Structure formats: structure tokens, C-alpha cells
Amino acid sequence: MAIVIIRTLIIYTSIFTVMRLLGKRQLGEMEVSEFVIAALIADLAANTLQDTGVPLLNGVVPVITLFCLEVIVSALGMKSIRLRSVLFGKPSLLIHRGKIDQREMKKNRFTLDELMEQLRAQGLNDISKIEFAVLETSGNLTVIPYPEHQPVSASLLGISPPDKGYSYIIINEGRIMNENLRRAGYDIGWLQKKLREQKLRSAEEVYFMTVNKLGEVYLSLRGENV
Amino acid sequence: MKKELSAVILLILMTAIALFNIFHLRSVTGELISLADRAESSTAEGDFASARSYIDAAVALWESEDYYTHIFIAHSEIDGTADSLFNAAAQLSEDKDSSEISAAFNELRYHLMSILRMEEVSIGSIF
């Protein structure tokens, strides 16, 4: 029993470290090689965890080897465009100026249902309004509508709204995020003043608080429910 | 670039450890097979005292490698080899039939060769 726990801890730490080193992309949009690695790592870990008769090294060594290979393959892909397209594939233009490219659809084994599903997910269901739809190597569909169907932007309207900048979280479940407070250009004195204005005695009474470049504050109190 | 270089170094390092492992395992199994051969020939000559000392040396060597074997070798293989080693030791008595002794030593040699074959790089061990 203890052995299983220790083995689980070691495998978990190894996989966690490897996934962390592979970067955030691994957790979201995966390239083919990344998907292969994720699937293999999961299987390797499960086998080693279940069978205590298998040396732990037999689980850890392949995980490390896969990590090394992934890093090397990614680096090679960065160096050569040709190799990158071989390793990770190329984006495919599924819709070109409002017309579906059936050859590309077939090549990517992408059905009309899947195409319509992805378009609906992006709030579009009329193909004639779409100028381009690109199937990315990650499997995501990027849709670019014709200019007249694109969402209205401030520049199109000819207005220049104030730049509110990034909203920094300065209180997170009662804890003051000093680094964020400094980055936002404020100090603890300013925060205490803001809290007093809201008739609050300490940051502990606050569940969530943000501030932007213009000094606009969003505040949610602890225990506050909708 | 640091990460890529570390990955290459790590791969080289692991390959070096794997090669060292094969080298070490070859040396240990070679020594054990040699002791088993000597124990078997001493038995054939009726020199059971020498045979016993050879097999005791083999058991001592096997036990001294306990940590190494448990880290690098599948535990079912370790158990199989240990069982055949102790079985060979148990067969070393004058009232045993020579064919039984020979079978026990053949089994021991088979297990020792098997753990080496599992680690050595060959078409068979890969597939």
C-alpha cells in the first residue's frame, strides 16, 4: 500500500513537471505530437502505478524520454518551416470567399456537420457571410467574416474610447496581492482609503477586488450571493 | 535553447546509464552463470563441497545486487531467477539424480540469460 502511494507521488511529480515544462499549450490546444505524448504519458503512468512488479524506472524513463523528444522535435520545427509542416501539418482553408472547399474538407476528414457546429459555436450560420475559415493545426476553426459582417469596432465607428488598461486583481479571497497592487501603480495606503470609502475595516472582508488603469474599482464582498 | 540543450544532454545521459546497465548486468549474469557452471561440473565430479561453495558464492553475489535488480529489472524476473538459484542450491546433494541437478542448473542459466536478453538491445528485445 505504502509503495503504491510513493510510486503514485513519484509518477505524479514526474508527469506534473514534464507537463509544466512543456508549457501551457499542452493543456489546451494540442499539436499532433503533443497529443501523442499526452496519451502515451497517461498510459505509461497508469501501467506503472497499477503494477508494483514493474520497476518505477520503467515508468519514469519513458516519460523523461518523451519530454526530451518533444522538446527536440519542437526545436527542430522552430528551425525549419518545411519540417514544421511535416511534423505539425499545415492550416487548411475550408471556406474561401464564401465557398466551401470540398477537397480540403475531404482531405481533413471534416464533415459538414462538424463545420456547421464550429461555425454556430462562433455565432455564425450563414456561410455566404464568411470570407475565410481556416482549420488550424490544433484542430480549431478560425473564421473570418466578410468586412461588412464583422463585429463593429470602435475604429469602424470612428470613436476612441478611453484605454482602461488591464484589470489587476488586488484582493483575492481576503488576501492583498501586493505585487499586482504595485503593478497597477497603487499602494497599500490607496487601498486602505478605498476600503474605508466602502465602510470596510480590512481586506479580509473582501472576496474579490480589481482596479484598472483609470482607477476604476470592482469589488465583491465575502459571503455576498446573487 | 537552454531547454533544448538540456533535453539532448538528458537523452545522452539516459542512454549512457542504459548502456552502463547492460554492461553491469552482463557482468553480473556472466559471473553467476560461470559460478553455476563450476558448481555443476564439481557436482558431476562428485565434489559437492566445492559445488556448495560455488553456489553459495552465487547466492551471495545475487543478494549483494538486490537494490540494483529491484530498481532495474521486472520483479517477476527477479523472483523467477531467485527461485531457480535457491532450487539449484537445494539440489546439491549426493542422493539427487544427476538429471535433476542438470535440469535445475539449466533453469537457472535460462533465467539469468532471460534477464540479460530483456535489457540487451536486439530485435527480439525491442519487439
Q: Which of A123, A131, A122 is nearest to A98 (CA)?
A: A131
Beta strands in A37-136 (DSSP E): 92-96, 99-100, 130-135
**pLDDT number for residue A113:** 92
Query: Residue B119: is its pLDDT beyond 60?
Result: yes
Q: Give CA–CA dist B94/B46, Å, rounded.
A: 8
Between chain A and chain B, how many beta carbons pairs sit less than 8 Å apart? 41
What proportion of chain B, given as a percentage, has pLDDT over 70? 96
The answer to whether A4 contacts chain B (CB < 8 Å) is no
How far B86 CA sits from the closest chain A CA (Å)? 21
Contacts of A58 in chain B (CB under 8 A): 74
Q: What is the dihedral of CA A186, A187, A188, A190, to 10 degrees?
A: -50
**pLDDT number for residue A31:** 66
Who wins on pLDDT, B2 or B56? B56
The per-residue pLDDT for range A26-57, each reduced to its tens digit, is: 445 666 667 777 777 788 778 777 777 788 88
Model pTM?
A: 0.63
Contacts of A55 in chain B (CB under 8 A): 70-75
How does residue A88 score in pLDDT terms, banded at 50, 70 and 90? confident
The per-residue pLDDT for range B9-62, each reduced to its tens digit, is: 988 998 899 889 899 999 999 999 999 999 999 988 888 889 999 999 999 999
The per-residue pLDDT for range A106-154, each reduced to its tens digit, is: 988 889 998 999 999 998 889 999 999 999 877 789 999 998 888 888 8
For B122, which DSSP code?
Answer: S
What proportion of chain B, given as a percentage, has pLDDT over 90? 48
Residue with cell 501523442: A36
- Name which of B1, B5, B9, B11 to mutate to probe chain A: the one with the most chain A Cβ atoms within 10 A of its Cβ: B11
What proportion of chain A, given as a percentage, has pLDDT over 70? 88
**pLDDT number for residue A25:** 46
Cα–Cα distances (Å) from A68 to A75, A183, B3, B18, in that order, read 11, 36, 9, 16
Q: Between residues 51 and 80 of chain A, which touch chain B (CB distance below 8 Å)?
A: 52-58, 61, 64-65, 67-69, 71-72, 75
Cα–Cα distances (Å) from B126 to A217, B117, B121, in that order, read 63, 10, 7
Mean pLDDT, chain B, integer: 89
Q: Is the dihedral of CA B103, B109, B115, B119 positive or negative?
A: negative
The per-residue pLDDT for range A163-180, each reduced to its tens digit, is: 888 999 999 999 999 999
Long-range contacts (CB closer than 8 Å, 24 or more residues apart) made by A41-45: A41/A15, A41/A66, A45/A11, A45/A15
**8 Å CB contact of B75 and A52:** yes
CB A33 within 8 A of CB A76: no
**What ipTM, to 2 d.p.?**
0.77
Residues of B with CB under 8 A from a CB of A: 1, 3-4, 6-8, 10-11, 14, 70-76
Q: Give CA–CA dist A89/B23, Å, rounded.
A: 41
- Give the DSSP H/E element, type plus range, for residue B93: none
Average pLDDT over residues B94-99: 74
Q: Give CA–CA dist A37/B51, Å, rounded.
A: 52
Mean pLDDT, chain A, integer: 84
Helices (runs of H) and strands (runs of E) counted in chain A: 9, 8
Q: Give CA–CA dist A136/A138, Å, rounded.
A: 5
CB A195 within 8 A of CB A202: yes
Who wins on pLDDT, A212 or B93? A212
**8 Å CB contact of B70 and A68:** no
CB A185 within 8 A of CB A170: no
CB B51 within 8 A of CB B42: yes
**pLDDT number for residue A26:** 46
